[in-house]
Chains A and B, each alone.
Chain A
Amino acid sequence: MRIYFELALRAFRQLFAYQAAMLAGIFTNSVFGVMLSAVYLALFDSHSDGTSVEGFSARETVTYVWIGQALIAPVMIWGWWEIIKTIRTGAIVTDMLKPLSFFGFWLSRDLGRAVGHLLLRGVPTLIIGALFYDLVYPGTPGRWIAFLVSIPFAVIVSFCFRFMMNLWGFWVLDHRGIAGIATVIVGVASGHLLPIAWYPDALRDVFNMLPFRAIVMLPVEIWLGQAGIVEGLGLQVFWILVMTAAAHWLQSVAERKVVVQGG
């Protein structure tokens, strides 16, 4: 087990070398946070005072926006094709020569990366949001802790999905087709684009049955108190179990037909 910790630690440390990228990321996330907050506040203003839309007040909506922006980097919801890259370059050859779980090898590094991104990008972005907007905060220490726990859970679910999308590369050498579709699905069904509650009933029911809501929506609901701590974390754990099982299954199928590029 030690090796997985060592891998995570190095992935974490590695991020500190890219300070300019971190600052640029915080800047981008904050600009989007400001723009989206402005849009929602304007929309809410045009309603009469004190309205809430499908359970979200104006303050809660702005809080949702900033949590969403802060989570972008840690849960890495946009394209992550590191494994496909190694398939293409052939570097996967040396990774597969190691006496490690392939899944564990990548997951531990992703968790290390996620912790780094949380500290270097997520927290600063959220602080900027808190400085300029009147956010809602988890009322109790228990909720703060539950929220903190929900982030690694969200990362694991997100990782499993990204891992499986990458394994597709064992069959398909060009991943652009999958990439486009995957990005849309995660962006919408995770609740990143809009709170899932805001979608039309049919769509909302579908999204509520998919694992993606564990990536963005559940942490937000735990923070805002819309989801019970046990229910929220429990649902994430459920999806972790399902998704890791699926990832392992796909990995075993992929391994059986391993075709690595020449060299």
Chain B
Amino acid sequence: MDGPMIEARNLEKRFTVRRHREGAFGAMRSLVDRGGNEVSAVKDVSFSINRGEMVGYIGPNGAGKSTTIKMLTGILVPSSGEATVAGFTPRESRKQLAQQIGVVFGQRTQLWWDLALADSLELLRHMYRVPEKRFRENLNRARELLVLDDFMHTPVRQLSLGQRMRGDLAAALLHDPKILYLDEPTIGLDIVAKARIREFLAALNRETHVTVLLTTHDLADIEQLCRRIIVIDRGQVVYDGELGALRNRFGGKRHVILDFDQDPGDAISTLAGNNLEIVDHNGPRVRVAFDRETTSTPRVLALASHHGTVRDVSIEEPAIEDVIRQMYEGPDSQHP
């Protein structure tokens, strides 16, 4: 297929929030009343994602991430704008599109609570008409990489969150989807479970070139999996590009930790002013922050050498959390 795998063109979604009515008459009136206030969950979102890309879709709570994904699956109809996904218009071809995509919503499950995981997967095999051989292959890969065997025959309601999520991932991939939407797939998981899921996704993307759109609050997910991120805030895209470039653009300061062989004393404070600031001074250890556009690490080292012998240096990139927070709050952001 030519062209991008996922394309969003000026997607907008407004919701009508109904007034709550009290009492019996309220219930009766709510039968016919359709009034209410409009809120824009997604205001204007455009992007284009190619086959095999793994893109992080991030933004604060309520920014419109899930709403965007729902529009890209066809379960929500945009108020305006258009989407093309795997060659389909989601709103018109929800069922055909369903055959091409896998979806995991971290807060929900597509498995059946009352069925054992194995039985749920079997039911999905029929649902997606996956040929027996293909089903075995995909199931075996998932069982191995996601380590499902311990709980294949446990009813889904008894699975831990991490086990359920692994089951859901296996379920989303049974029918070899071209696209995988992951909406907070690591939410609430412990570190081990998160790591296992990240490894699985990285391997999957390498081997099958599945296109992945990933929403998460854990930016470590993004750092380990995605080269490209799209940042959305209040329904609008505020950044679309490489993760590395984001650091440069929205800076955040780089921190250098200097370990002198002895305490450089108060004199070190004269360092400040050369486009850098001293964040912390504790005995021989001094933490310096500077803007990467105006100063470089060698220059900091050169300046520091006037104050003593630097025994060790370590550099800390700005935490991606800080970069993004700065983006929402900083002067560059697009809202007051």
Residues on A close to B: CB < 8 A?
Answer: 2-3, 6-7, 10, 14, 17, 90-91, 93-94, 96-101, 171-174, 176-178, 256-260, 262-263
* A94 pairs with B108, CB closer than 8 A: yes
Chain A residues with CB under 8 Å of B96's CB are 99
Chain B residues with CB under 8 Å of A174's CB are 27, 30
CA distance A28 to B285 in the complex (A): 79
B110 within 8 A of A: yes
Interface string of B93-117 (1 = CB under 8 A from A): 0111011010101011110101100
Q: What's the least CB distance linking B171 to chain A, in Å?
A: 10
Q: What's the least CB distance linking B107 to chain A, in Å?
A: 5
Chain A residues with CB under 8 Å of B126's CB are 2-3, 6
User: Which of the residues A14, A91, A256 comes within 8 Å of B77, measured between beta carbons?
Assistant: A256
CA distance A10 to B115 in the complex (A): 8
* B30 pairs with A91, CB closer than 8 A: no
Q: Which A-chain residue is minimally distant from B25 (CB atoms)? A: A177
8 Å CB contacts to A: which residues of B241-287? none
Chain B residues with CB under 8 Å of A101's CB are 95
Chain A residues with CB under 8 Å of B122's CB are 6
User: Which of the residues A97, A259, A263 comes within 8 Å of B15, measured between beta carbons?
Assistant: A259
* A97 pairs with B75, CB closer than 8 A: yes
Q: What's the least CB distance linking A11 to chain B, in Å?
A: 9
Which of under 10, 10 to 19, 20 to 34, or 35 or more describes the interface residues of B?
35 or more
* A97 pairs with B107, CB closer than 8 A: no
Most buried by B among A100, A101, A172: A172
CA distance A99 to B51 in the complex (A): 22
Given contacts A10-B123, A94-B105, contact A258 B34 (CB under 8 A): no
Interface string of B23-45 (1 = CB under 8 A from A): 01001101100100000010000
Q: Which B-chain residue is minimally distant from A101 (CB atoms)? A: B95
User: Which of the residues B24, B76, B98, B105 comes within 8 Å of A98, measured between beta carbons?
Assistant: B98
B70 within 8 A of A: yes
Chain A residues with CB under 8 Å of B28's CB are 177
Interface residues of chain A: helix, strand, loop or mixed (majority): loop
Given contacts A93-B75, A177-B30, contact A99 B128 (CB under 8 A): yes
* A10 pairs with B107, CB closer than 8 A: no
* B123 pairs with A93, CB closer than 8 A: no
User: Which of the residues A17, A99, A259, A263 comes within 8 Å of B108, measured between beta carbons?
Assistant: A263
Q: What's the least CB distance linking B102 to chain A, in Å?
A: 9
* A94 pairs with B109, CB closer than 8 A: yes
Chain A residues with CB under 8 Å of B27's CB are 174, 176-177
CA distance A140 to B107 in the complex (A): 56
B46 within 8 A of A: no
Q: Which A-chain residue is minimally distant from B62 (CB atoms)? A: A262
Q: What's the least CB distance linking B88 to chain A, in Å?
A: 12
Chain A residues with CB under 8 Å of B67's CB are 262
CA distance A258 to B129 in the complex (A): 26
Q: Which A-chain residue is minimally distant from B41 (CB atoms)? A: A262
User: Which of the residues A173, A178, A258 comes within 8 Å of B76, measured between beta carbons?
Assistant: A258
Chain A residues with CB under 8 Å of B110's CB are 94, 97-98
Chain B residues with CB under 8 Å of A14's CB are 114
Chain A residues with CB under 8 Å of B73's CB are 97
B18 within 8 A of A: yes
Chain B residues with CB under 8 Å of A259's CB are 15-16, 76
Chain B residues with CB under 8 Å of A263's CB are 66, 105, 107-108
Interface string of B68-86 (1 = CB under 8 A from A): 0010010111000000000
* A10 pairs with B127, CB closer than 8 A: no
B119 within 8 A of A: yes
17 new A-B contacts, CB < 8 A, other than A2-B126, A93-B70, A94-B103, are: A6-B126, A10-B115, A10-B119, A94-B105, A96-B94, A98-B98, A98-B127, A99-B98, A171-B34, A172-B30, A174-B27, A177-B30, A177-B31, A178-B31, A256-B77, A258-B75, A262-B41
Enumerate 19 A-B pairs (CB-CB under 8 Å) in ascending A order.
A10-B119, A14-B114, A17-B114, A90-B108, A93-B70, A94-B103, A94-B108, A96-B75, A96-B94, A97-B73, A98-B110, A99-B99, A100-B95, A101-B95, A172-B30, A176-B27, A177-B24, A178-B31, A257-B77
Q: Which A-chain residue is minimally distant from B102 (CB atoms)? A: A97
Q: What's the least CB distance linking B141 to chain A, in Å?
A: 22
Chain A residues with CB under 8 Å of B77's CB are 256-258
CA distance A2 to B34 in the complex (A): 40
Chain B residues with CB under 8 Å of A90's CB are 107-108
* A10 pairs with B112, CB closer than 8 A: yes
Chain A residues with CB under 8 Å of B114's CB are 14, 17
Q: What's the least CB distance linking B298 to chain A, in Å?
A: 49
CA distance A6 to B120 in the complex (A): 11
CA distance A101 to B73 in the complex (A): 16
Q: What's the least CB distance linking B61 to chain A, in Å?
A: 11
Q: What's the least CB distance linking A96 to chain B, in Å?
A: 5
Q: What's the least CB distance linking B304 to chain A, in Å?
A: 51
* B127 pairs with A99, CB closer than 8 A: yes
Given contacts A2-B126, A171-B34, A262-B67, contact A97 B98 (CB under 8 A): yes
